[in-house]
Amino acid sequence: MFKDCVTPRFGNIDGLKHVNNTVVADWFEIGRNGIFRYFTPDLDLSYEKWKLIMVRTEFDFVSQMYFGEDVEIRTYVLKIGNSSFTTGHEAWQNGELKSKGKAVIVHYDFIEKKSVPIPNEIKGKLRNHLIDETEIGKP
């Protein structure tokens, strides 16, 4: 599991004084950086080097998050396929689960415009972060 800490900025807060729901997608993307590095170690976003494309994402908002307290983003792998994998994400604030989500990401060749198999070496690295879905939301 990867863990990252984010600090809500003033601009992340909406009129109801809690973290706006659009911010969570950005925070979960930050959480995927460790996994992205398995495919592109320097995170070079050039068309020729980047190897991943997100095809699906979903979020559940469990409870409100507020300004003034850091948020821990937890990222792990839920499923590994031939050319795709599913990541799981959680946002925790003050020891409580506040949001959870999933993203399906495909190993993709942007030049050929097609999915390609995930190399076995990278699959092994992904397996190191594989958890069972029944573990989602547990402290």
Distance CA 84, CA 46 (A): 21
C-alpha span between 88 and 136 (Å, rounded): 8
pLDDT of residue 108: 96
Which pLDDT score is estimated for 80?
97
Tens-digit pLDDT profile for residues 7-55: 998 888 888 888 888 899 999 999 999 999 999 989 888 877 889 999 9
Give the C-alpha separation, 85 to 77, whole Å: 7
pLDDT for position 104: 98
Where do the domains of the chain lie, and which CATH numbers do they carry? 2-135 (3.10.129.10)
What does the block give as tokens for 78? 């839920």
- In degrees, rounded to 5, the angle at the alpha carbon of residue 46 between the alpha carbons of residues 45 and 52 is 55
Helix or strand run (H / E) with residue 123: helix 120-127
- List C-alpha distances in Å: 74 to 17, 20, 29, 34: 24, 19, 11, 11
Does the CA dihedral 104-29-39-136 come out positive or negative?
negative
Strand partners, 115: 108
Q: Is the pLDDT of residue 134 over 80?
A: no
Tens digit of each residue's pLDDT (9 = 90 or more) over 46-95: 877 889 999 999 999 999 999 989 999 999 999 999 999 999 999 999 99
Q: Residue 91 in contact with residue 72, Cβ under 8 Å?
A: yes
* pTM as predicted: 0.90
CA 124, CA 122: separation in Å to the nearest integer? Answer: 5
